[in-house]
């Protein structure tokens, strides 16, 4: 397992320099940029529904159904066929004018549409995304071992995070953006002006200790409408416990862990115990 790397500060990261800054600070919580605001599934689904209805009334009547990562739809192959970009070596869709920092959504329609021209691949010999991956989850160009991906480990995995990946997680408590932050094409990425995606509850600057203190009621109330809420308070604490184990040792970190050491969840207790052992190892003799 590689030491936890910080994406190189290059031109590509400038639109999201705050992300690199958060990764540089091991006392802060790192949350994938897409999850700082409102759940994109809801925002995008509403916009797609409105667009499909506008087509129905203003252009041609059609049968349709909209999707936003809400069904087993092969989004990236469809996006490639739609001429929106090419599949990068990190497996995400890349667009020459937008990089990869955007959401995908689909409208299935009964209308007959002419297929656009596909884009050529423009990754060349670049392997930045492969080289930076903290857990070596990108096992080759266009090949991802999802079982190693920090996004999977912190969001989809319901059980204990494998010990061999915990140090590599660093301060990432929900998702990971490293492969995108180093991608040269993301110098063209743009922040959305849509207010729904603005950071909420200080999630872009919160410390690990602050978030670890949230009760389940705090979690549910503050993350209402957020994609983070779906992992639940238990896995939220699990993820933060790992990050606290990776944080510089301090009285506040150790006190926070002590307060959760007797948590009712065995999953939380195990990760807290691991973090406390890591903190003990970091303390000077």
Of 18, 24, 25, 69, the active-site residue reads: 69
Residue 17 has pLDDT above 80, yes or no: yes
Q: 24-78 pLDDT, tens per residue?
A: 999 999 999 999 999 999 999 999 999 999 999 999 999 999 999 888 899 999 9
How far apart CA 178 and CA 175 sit, in angstroms, is 10
Q: 172-185 pLDDT, tens per residue?
A: 999 999 999 999 99
Phi, psi of 95 (to 5 degrees): -125, 135
285 is catalytic: no
Supply the pLDDT for residue 13.
56
pTM assigned to the model: 0.92
Pairing of strands 143-144, 138-140: antiparallel
What is the domain partition of the chain in residue ranges?
A: 40-109
């Amino acid at each position: 397992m590689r030491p936890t790397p910080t994406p190189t500060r290059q031109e590509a990261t400038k639109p999201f320099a705050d992300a690199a800054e958060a990764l540089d600070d091991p006392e802060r919580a790192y949350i994938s940029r897409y999850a700082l605001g409102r759940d994109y599934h809801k925002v995008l689904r509403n916009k797609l529904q409105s667009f499909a209805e506008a087509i129905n009334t203003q252009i041609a009547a059609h049968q349709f159904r909209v999707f936003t990562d809400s069904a087993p739809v092969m989004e990236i192959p469809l996006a490639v066929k739609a001429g929106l970009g090419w599949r990068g070596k990190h497996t995400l869709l890349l667009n020459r004018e937008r990089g990869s920092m955007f959401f995908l959504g689909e409208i299935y329609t009964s209308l007959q549409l002419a297929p656009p021209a596909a884009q050529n691949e423009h990754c060349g010999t670049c392997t930045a995304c492969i080289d930076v991956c903290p857990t070596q989850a990108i096992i080759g160009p266009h090949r991802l071992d999802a079982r190693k991906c920090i996004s999977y480990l912190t969001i989809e995995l319901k059980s204990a995070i494998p010990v061999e990946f915990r140090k590599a997680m660093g301060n990432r408590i929900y998702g990971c953006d490293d492969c995108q932050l180093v991608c040269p094409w993301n110098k063209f990425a743009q922040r959305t002006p849509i207010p729904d995606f603005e950071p909420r509850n200080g999630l872009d600057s919160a410390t690990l200790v602050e978030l670890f203190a949230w009760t389940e009621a705090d979690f549910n109330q503050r993350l209402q409408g957020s994609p983070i809420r779906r992992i639940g308070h238990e896995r939220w604490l699990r993820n933060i416990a790992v990050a606290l184990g990776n944080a510089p040792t301090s009285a506040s970190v150790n006190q926070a862990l002590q307060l959760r050491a007797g948590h009712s969840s065995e999953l939380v207790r195990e990760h807290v115990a691991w973090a406390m052992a890591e903190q003990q190892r970091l303390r000077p003799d």
